[in-house]
């Protein structure tokens, strides 16, 4: 699959940026520790496709400054503020100085990018030895019964409503030709201790769910939510885990 051209920015989240900000899982602290270790320094990181700033706020625990960009003004408006994070509405143009950045990150967004334009800017701003890191998550794991209900909903009910770029997440970004000398990343996973309401909010934040609701109404979504509620049972909270795919390395 060819990357999407820059001029055709695929905006799948602006219309529900508030929902996205409230119900997306958080990245593990260990991921940001590892990125700080493999980067050649921790003065400045650029987080591209920052969305609501989840990656940016993780990076700032280890980096002195974070430059965070997203093409969606609505997402930037919902982003989590921090004194050492500079948010800008932009696609791939950062206005950063040449070779001023030690790390460039993309969390759950690389599949929307024009890789040629993005890598050109990443190569310009990264210092020698600088690292480009892209990571993504797909299916959650709770219990076998819950996972089966969610997977059927994801694949069957919502299947036709996923954008084609979603396939890059499914294959762990292996179909994307990243110009990096790849590192072997340790295993990482996201983890949340969530109520049923929080998990339902996360599922509502999916771009395919929002597209389905806009085109077909909520009957099938409500039916799925009743099935999920039955599978969830009486537990007030459950452990929800998402394995992370990480591709990282020095850019060529």
Per-residue pLDDT of the chain (252 residues; tens, 9 = 90+): 333 333 344 554 444 445 555 668 999 999 999 999 999 999 999 999 999 899 999 999 999 999 999 999 988 998 999 999 999 999 998 999 999 999 999 999 999 999 999 999 999 999 999 999 999 998 999 999 999 999 999 999 999 999 998 899 989 899 899 999 999 999 999 999 999 999 999 999 998 999 999 999 999 999 999 999 999 999 999 999 999 999 999 999
Residues in the chain, overall count:
252
Q: Quote the pLDDT of residue 24.
A: 82
User: Using an 8 Å Cβ cutoff, are 147 and 119 in contact?
Assistant: no
Task: Give the span between the Cα atoms of 74 and 13, in whole angstroms.
Answer: 9
Task: Give the span between the Cα atoms of 168 and 209, in whole angstroms.
Answer: 19
Q: Quote the pLDDT of residue 16.
A: 47
User: Using an 8 Å Cβ cutoff, are 52 and 78 in contact?
Assistant: yes
**6-141+165-191+243-251 carries CATH number 3.40.50.150:** yes
Q: Quote the pLDDT of residue 154.
A: 97
- The domain segmentation of the chain, as residue ranges, is 6-141+165-191+243-251
């Amino acid at each position: 699959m060819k990357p999407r051209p820059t001029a055709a920015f695929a905006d799948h989240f602006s219309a529900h940026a508030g929902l996205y900000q409230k119900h997306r899982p958080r990245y593990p602290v260990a991921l940001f520790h590892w990125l700080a270790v493999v980067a050649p320094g921790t003065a400045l990181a650029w987080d591209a496709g920052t969305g609501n700033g989840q990656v940016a706020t993780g990076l700032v625990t280890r980096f002195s400054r974070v430059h965070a960009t997203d093409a969606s003004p609505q997402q930037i408006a919902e982003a989590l503020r921090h004194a050492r994070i500079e948010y800008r509405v932009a696609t791939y143009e950062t206005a950063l100085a040449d070779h001023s950045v030690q790390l460039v990150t993309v969390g759950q967004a690389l599949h929307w990018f024009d890789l040629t334009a993005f890598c050109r800017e990443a190569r310009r701003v990264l210092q020698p030895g600088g690292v480009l890191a892209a990571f993504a998550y797909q299916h959650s794991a709770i219990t076998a019964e819950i996972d089966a209900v969610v997977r059927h909903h994801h694949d069957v009910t919502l299947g036709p409503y996923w954008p084609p770029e979603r396939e890059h997440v499914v294959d762990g970004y292996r179909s994307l030709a990243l110009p990096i000398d790849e590192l072997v990343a340790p295993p990482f996973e996201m983890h949340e201790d969530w109520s049923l309401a929080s998990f339902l909010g996360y599922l509502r934040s999916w771009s395919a769910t929002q597209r389905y609701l806009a085109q077909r109404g909520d009957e099938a979504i409500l039916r799925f939510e009743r099935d999920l509620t039955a599978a969830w049972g009486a537990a007030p909270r459950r452990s929800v885990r998402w394995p992370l795919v990480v591709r990282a390395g020095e850019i060529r």
